[in-house]
Amino acid sequence: MHDNEPPVESLEALDTRLRTIRDWLRYGASAFNAAKLSFGHGTDNALDEALALVLHTLHLGPPELDASWLDARVSAAEAGRIHALFERRIRERIPAAYLTREAWFAGLRFYVDERVVIPRSPLAELIEARIEPWLAREPRRILDLCCGSGCIGIAAALAFPEAEVVLADCDPGALEVAQCNVLEYGLENRLQLAESDLFEDLDERPFDLVLANPPYVDEPAYAALAQEYRHEPRTGLESGPLGLDHPLRILAATADRLTAGGLLVLEVGATQPALERALPNLDMTWVEFERGGEGVAVVTREALIAPDALEVAA
């Protein structure tokens, strides 16, 4: 427990006061705020974090939530499980997704554990919109680079049902998680998993669309992250002193791996200004999201092969 952290009330003390789903949501949100938890792993506030834990305990998902259920009674067994999750969330600072072993991305449920970064990319909104208006044609071959849990590639496979999709990651543990999710969605005949350091160990066949959400946190930002982020694999977050090690390698190599007219969608989050300073001659379109999020660039193959486009500024 952290210094000055409020104690978690015992289940016995709460038993007579918390009866309904609404009661437990209110209590969880209050307890999380009092404990000064950090959010950002699929939720951005205490109420949504409590909701994720309660819905998981009740075997419900966000698509099934009905406001009329908020006053439904919670059984004693369910209350015990909710309380145990709330207690771990506060005492151990573990993000809800790792406690429940599930995360939601593009309206889809994915298995996650500590081998992968928790899905939270704004790329979900772009995939749901089928990469419009930037994608010139239906992609026949798609790469999810640094795939982690596989959520981006799987969502893309469902958005483009005729496409072949490759999920690539350098971490065998991450690929094991991705494989679980591929099997869950019955996509093993269309999705290929590849252990590869970025493009290095992939075959030479080009892609029409590369979706990349690589590590991009710089060293000072990583050092300042809240404890919740320390449960995630560091190698999935940090990318050198400026957060540019992986993004620059990807940009340097992608043109040779794209078809004519192909597209790279690259997420760099808050590292966007550093990338723009490093590559002032590269034509990148930065996506504006309706549901929040930043630092996603759309880059054409033509932009990548333009003269001096990839010349790194001193």
pLDDT confidence of residue 1: 46
Residues 89 and 214 in one domain: no
Count structural domains, the chain: 2
With beta carbons less than 8 A apart as the criterion, state whether 208 and 265 touch.
no
- Is residue 5 in a domain? no
Residues 142 and 288 in one domain: yes
pLDDT tens across 175-219, in order? Answer: 999 999 999 999 999 999 999 999 999 999 999 999 999 999 999
Residue segments in the chain with a per-residue pLDDT below the cut of 70: 1-16, 63-65
- Is residue 310 in a domain? no
pLDDT confidence of residue 110: 97
CATH number at residue 268: 3.40.50.150
Tokens representing residue 29 in the block: 């949100």
Residues 78 and 122 in one domain: no
Domain membership of residue 142 as a residue range = 111-304
Residues 95 and 164 in one domain: no
Residues 167 and 236 in one domain: yes
- Is residue 184 in a domain? yes
pLDDT confidence of residue 154: 98
- Is residue 105 in a domain? no
Residues 139 and 79 in one domain: no
Residues 81 and 166 in one domain: no
Residues 59 and 182 in one domain: no
Residues 226 and 297 in one domain: yes
pLDDT confidence of residue 24: 94
Residues 187 and 215 in one domain: yes
Classify burial at 95, counting beta carbons within 10 Å of its beta carbon; exposed 0-12, middle 13-18, buried 19 or more: buried
- Is residue 2 in a domain? no
Classify burial at 67, counting beta carbons within 10 Å of its beta carbon; exposed 0-12, middle 13-18, buried 19 or more: exposed
Instruction: Provide the 3-class DSSP secondary structure of residue 88.
Output: helix
- The alpha helices in 93-186, defined as continuous H runs, are 96-100, 123-128, 151-159, 172-184
Residues 85 and 140 in one domain: no
CA dist 51 and 179 (Å) reads 28
Last residue of a domain, which of 100, 127, 155? 100
- Is residue 142 in a domain? yes
CA distances, 3 to each of 6, 33, 36, 87, 91 (Å): 9, 15, 11, 16, 11
Last residue of a domain, which of 59, 74, 100? 100
- Is residue 313 in a domain? no
Residues 135 and 257 in one domain: yes
- Is residue 173 in a domain? yes
Last residue of a domain, which of 80, 100, 120? 100
Terminal-to-terminal C-alpha distance of the chain:
46
